[in-house]
């Protein structure tokens, strides 16, 4: 018994082809959306939301309606290139967000289009109410954080207290002007007034999921826990608040003083251990005797 009559075999074949093509098209669309979502969540959402308000950068809801796709492709790949080209919209955007530099992204056009497609999809429904509050696992909110939380955050920042998953201490790359900290690294930005520039959500988001390549590489296999992000955010909030009464550490002076002290210590040390050293040449005593015999 034949499943399909012979006279309908052409129609059946066409039907099978249409179903197969539909499945392939749907599968490709789903894969693109999944890839866009993955890239957005791993790279973009630390600084941008979709319908939840501004963070470090602007809310991206309906961004596809605000600028042409060609402009978005160039700006996402290298925002500073577009800004330095004299683009007025890019320059106004840069100034509106405290001149915070968006890192260049090494994405292909296809990957960026997948991200834009994901943003378009998520833009349906309009603005959400608010971003979720920053809360410790115990229920303590950021506004309720006090000296104990600030101290834990400072110790995590300096490396005095290790991060749970073995990530590097923040001070190795960042500096914060604080009387209780030594000078930090110069590889990345000074974070003394990060809270003023980025806000609570911006600081917290970057700590949990950094869009910056060096930081992302350092923490991709050593993620910061939610509680550690809370403590670090609390510390940076307090550091920003008290920064006007802190004395900046001057590393150049410290190196100078340390160098002078080191030289004095070495000279004293060698003078002591070489106190019985031969002070003159071997022939000095012979020469001296000859002088006396004259």
DSSP 69-91: HHHHHHHHH-HHHHHHTT-HHHH
SS3 content of the chain, % helix, strand, coil (to 5): 60, 0, 40
Is 158 in contact with 171 (CB distance < 8 Å)?
Answer: yes
Q: Give, in order, the Cα–Cα distances in Å from 158 to each of 80, 175, 187, 223, 258.
A: 32, 10, 15, 17, 21
Answer positive or negative: Cα dihedral of 51, 52, 57, 58: positive
| Residue 80 belongs to some domain of the structure | yes
The tokens of 107 are what? 């994405």
| Residue 1 belongs to some domain of the structure | no
Is 100 in contact with 57 (CB distance < 8 Å)?
Answer: yes
Number of domains making up the chain: 3
| Residue 172 belongs to some domain of the structure | yes
109 shares a domain with 62:
yes
185 shares a domain with 108:
no
The reported pLDDT for the residue numbered 28 is 47
Is 208 in contact with 229 (CB distance < 8 Å)?
Answer: yes
113 shares a domain with 58:
yes
Q: Tens digit of pLDDT for each residue in 113-170?
A: 888 888 888 887 655 444 568 899 999 999 999 999 999 999 999 999 999 999 999 9
* Domain finish residue from 90, 125, 160: 125
Angle at 175 between CA 173 and CA 178, to 5 degrees: 150
Answer positive or negative: Cα dihedral of 31, 34, 36, 39: negative
| Residue 131 belongs to some domain of the structure | no
53 shares a domain with 94:
yes
Helix axes 194-208, 226-242, angle to 10 degrees: 170
- What 8-state DSSP symbol labels residue 248? P
| Residue 19 belongs to some domain of the structure | no
Residue ranges of E strands in the chain: none
121 shares a domain with 36:
yes
Q: What is the pTM of this model?
A: 0.61
| Residue 153 belongs to some domain of the structure | yes
The tokens of 122 are what? 């998520």
268 shares a domain with 228:
no
Identify the domain containing residue 284 by its residue range. 258-293
The tokens of 178 are what? 């604080």
User: Residue 58: phi, psi to the nearest 5?
Assistant: -70, 155
| Residue 140 belongs to some domain of the structure | no
40 shares a domain with 85:
yes
280 shares a domain with 200:
no
| Residue 253 belongs to some domain of the structure | no
120 shares a domain with 39:
yes
111 shares a domain with 67:
yes
pLDDT tens, residue order, the chain (294 aa)? 444 454 555 555 555 555 545 544 444 445 555 788 888 887 888 788 888 777 788 888 888 888 888 998 899 989 999 999 998 888 888 888 888 888 888 888 888 888 888 888 888 765 544 456 889 999 999 999 999 999 999 999 999 999 999 999 999 999 999 988 888 888 888 999 988 888 888 899 889 888 888 888 899 899 999 999 999 999 999 999 998 888 776 655 667 788 898 999 998 888 888 776 666 666 667 767 777 766
The reported pLDDT for the residue numbered 12 is 56
279 shares a domain with 198:
no
Smallest CA-to-CA distance from 121 within 77, 69, 64 is with: 64
120 shares a domain with 95:
yes
Distance from C-alpha of 162 to C-alpha of 152, rounded to nearest angstrom: 11
Is 74 in contact with 90 (CB distance < 8 Å)?
Answer: no
- Domain CATH number, residue 50: 1.10.760.10
């Amino acid at each position: 018994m034949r499943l399909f009559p012979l006279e309908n075999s052409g129609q059946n074949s066409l039907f099978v082809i249409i179903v197969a093509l539909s499945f392939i098209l749907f599968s490709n669309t789903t894969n693109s959306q999944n890839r866009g979502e993955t890239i957005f969540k791993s790279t973009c959402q630390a600084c941008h939301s979709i319908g939840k308000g501004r963070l470090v950068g602007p809310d991206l809801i309906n961004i596809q309606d605000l600028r042409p796709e060609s402009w978005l492709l160039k700006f996402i790949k290298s925002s500073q290139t577009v800004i330095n080209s004299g683009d007025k919209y890019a320059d106004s955007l840069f100034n509106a967000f405290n001149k915070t530099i968006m890192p260049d992204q090494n994405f292909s056009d296809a990957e960026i289009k997948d991200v834009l497609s994901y943003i378009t999809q998520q833009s349906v429904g309009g603005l959400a109410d608010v971003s979720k509050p920053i809360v410790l696992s115990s229920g303590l909110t950021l506004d309720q954080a006090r000296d104990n939380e600030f101290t834990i955050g400072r110790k995590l920042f300096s490396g005095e207290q290790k991060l749970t998953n073995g990530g590097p201490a923040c001070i190795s790359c960042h500096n914060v002007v604080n009387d209780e900290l030594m000078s930090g690294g110069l590889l990345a930005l000074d974070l003394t007034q990060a809270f003023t520039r980025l806000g609570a959500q911006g600081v917290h988001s970057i700590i949990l999921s950094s869009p910056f390549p060096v930081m992302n590489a350092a923490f991709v296999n050593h993620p910061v826990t939610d509680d550690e992000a809370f403590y670090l955010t609390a510390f940076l909030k307090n550091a920003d608040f008290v920064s006007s009464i802190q004395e900046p550490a001057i590393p150049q002076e410290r190196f100078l003083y340390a160098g002078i002290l080191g030289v004095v210590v070495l000279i004293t040390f060698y003078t002591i251990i070489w106190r019985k050293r031969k002070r003159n040449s071997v022939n000095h005593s012979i020469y001296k005797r000859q002088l006396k015999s004259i």
